[in-house]
Amino acid sequence: MAKAKAIGAAAARQHGSVGDVAAVTAANVTKTFGSGDDGVVALDDVSVSIRQNEFFTLLGPSGCGKTTLLRLIAGFELPTQGDILLEGEPIGHLPPYQRPVNTVFQSYALFPHMTVSENIGFGLQMLGKPQAEVASEVERMLALVRMEALAKRRVDQLSGGQQQRVALARALAPHPKVLLLDEPLSALDLKLRKEMQIELKHLQGETGITFIFVTHDQEEALTMSDRVAVMDNGKILQVGPPREIYDHPADRFVANFIGETNFLTAELTSLSKSGGRVKLPSGKTVAVTLADGEFSEGQVTVVIRPEHARLTKAKSKTTLTGVLRNIVYIGTDTHYHLRLPGDTPFIVRTQNQRDTQESYQQGDELGIEISANAVQVLRD
């Protein structure tokens, strides 16, 4: 335990930006449910630092451990090993009511026997704030989430979107150091969800509170986050800003989970400090970017995003060639499904223009041009 704390403190210093300490640090956290052969490892030696005032997203499929990590930060679960640090202070052993951290629950968990105002004021009351201060803070929160008119309503008389706002106001009212959000938008319909995404991002900027957001929706993660941690099987696979995660996925899972992509087997022929060159199955050689990690020359997997490739009828000089199998029109874009020699599938995405005729047909043998710097070598 003492050792874990020491490691944690070091990690907090190391990962925090210069001069200030990380808002939340998970230091070598392992969480096991059950014991012996029935035990399930929900988190496997996870270390991550979340900066002050950051909108940080934990992204992954269900069962990846993202909610467990959130519950460990909130204090609803205790770590099996490792520790959680809040601004450098170990809090892994504290009960939830002693942590200056609040949660927006997936089910909202609003108190059904209280009004909107009473729900929002609950946290401040429990902190022992004087009545007048509670009342004025509740007013401020009601205004912040634009719910002033419904202050005296019972929560079961509210719509899903309104309940969502109350849950948000209730969690923000006590001015937590960190706000935890457990898939709070998943129960809303698409249009409302898009609105709330913008509003959440706006609220985070306005309050200056660190947000830790859990979701399985990659678009949601890319839209709102300053940084995203992609999780699978109890491990964090990659942490970075949305653009970096999308453009430079580190491994097959990340590349596949975020957006659509094409996988090719290639041969790494030369390495330099910033990148290298690979020989594609077609025999052509292109410059590549490399994921973090050690690489040696030889067989590797590379990924190319569908929007970074273009089709052309002149196939002699292009990087790749393939046979067109399917044309899928989806409004903004058209997806061309091709087969490369060796039966490898490859998708090219083209943005549609108005009034242009479809110029390719099923069965056409076409050339595929790849944008410069669009080929990424994976770690696996």
- According to CB under 8 A, which one of 31, 66, 165, 170 is a site residue for another protein? 170
Among 91-99, 280-288, 312-320, 329-337, the segment contacting another protein (CB under 8 A): 91-99
Q: 92 or 240: whose CB is closer to another protein?
A: 92
Please tell me the count of residues contacting another protein according to CB under 8 A: 24
Interface with another protein, residue 127, by CB under 8 A = yes
Q: What are phi and psi of 62, to 5 degrees?
A: -65, 140
Interface with another protein, residue 160, by CB under 8 A = no
Angstrom distance (rounded) from CA 316 to CA 329: 27
Interface mask toward another protein for 93-112; x: CB under 8 A: --xxxx--xxx-x-x-xxxx
3 state SS for 303-335: EECHHHEEEECCCCCCCEEEEEEEEEECCCEEE
Check if the beta carbon of residue 48 is closer than 8 Å to that of residue 31.
no
Check if the beta carbon of residue 312 is closer than 8 Å to that of residue 353.
no
Interface with another protein, residue 49, by CB under 8 A = no
Interface with another protein, residue 122, by CB under 8 A = yes
CB of 128 to another protein, least distance (A): 9
Interface with another protein, residue 123, by CB under 8 A = yes
Q: 6 or 126: whose CB is closer to another protein?
A: 126
Angstrom distance (rounded) from CA 22 to CA 86: 8
- According to CB under 8 A, which one of 16, 174, 276, 306 is a site residue for another protein? 174
Q: 127 or 327: whose CB is closer to another protein?
A: 127
CB of 156 to another protein, least distance (A): 9
Q: Of the candidates 248, 207, 252, 198, which has an alpha carbon nearest to the alpha carbon of residue 228?
A: 248
- The 3-state DSSP class for residue 39 equals coil
Check if the beta carbon of residue 169 is closer than 8 Å to that of residue 145.
yes
Residue 109 burial (C-beta neighbours within 10 Å; 0-12, 13-18, 19+): middle
Interface with another protein, residue 334, by CB under 8 A = no
Q: Of the candidates 234, 230, 206, which has an alpha carbon nearest to the alpha carbon of residue 216?
A: 230
Angstrom distance (rounded) from CA 63 to CA 17: 31
Contacting another protein within 56-75 (CB under 8 A): 74-75
Interface with another protein, residue 117, by CB under 8 A = no
CB of 117 to another protein, least distance (A): 14
Interface positions with another protein (CB under 8 A): 74-76, 95-98, 101-103, 105, 107, 109-113, 122-123, 126-127, 170-171, 174
